[in-house]
Amino acid sequence: MKRVAQLIAITSTVTVLGAAAVGGAAKRPHEAPCSLRGSQTLYQDSTLRVYTKDYGPDTESDDYACLFSAGKRRKLARYDDLSGGEQLDLIRTQAPWVAYSLLGGGKAAGSWGRVCVLNLRTNVKRCEFTDDYDTPWVLGLGLTRNGSLAWMDSRFDPPGHTLIVHQLDAAASDSLVLDTGKDIDRSSLAVGGHFIYWTRAGQPQSATMP
């Protein structure tokens, strides 16, 4: 009887420890905010996830980003068919930073475009509007590891469009215009390390940012 009692005690202890282990695995801090039920992934790597959640056909949707190590869901945009709002377009990441462009519109407000950079750890965000409401989309977007941002947009300037290259340094209060022209290659903007690259009249151009 003494041996049976010992076996029962050991089995009970193992069962409790096993349940605790399972419970611990189920409560890893990044799972709940970073994997919202019914969401669809827009971008994901080993450090963060960007995703959208639809709330039914012809109703509304929310776009989020989540840094796994922080375990906090950050809303990037919201849109619904009745009042409008904003939707994600381009996405660039350098954890803990995420840069993204937004296309916005509403029945009363017309259309607009924005670029934003957000620190997913601190929830500090900076945004700038694009140059032209008639052509609000962003043609190129780049991000450095320090959270500096570069983008290209356009302005309707008959005949055709003028292309504009912008820079927003991480520590600066205002953005800079680096270049404008109708002869800028609309698909040429790129960021590598601390360098911004683009092409104008077939010639490579560059600038630096933090």
**1-59 confidence digits (pLDDT tens):** 333 344 334 333 333 333 333 344 344 444 478 988 999 999 999 999 999 999 876 67
pTM, two decimal places: 0.82
Q: What does each C-alpha distance from 168 to 46, 107, 147, 176, 205 come to in angstroms? A: 26, 31, 9, 6, 17
In a domain, 176, yes or no: yes
Domain that holds residue 169: 87-208
In a domain, 43, yes or no: no
In the chain, the number of structural domains is 1
In a domain, 51, yes or no: no
At 116, the amino acid letter reads C
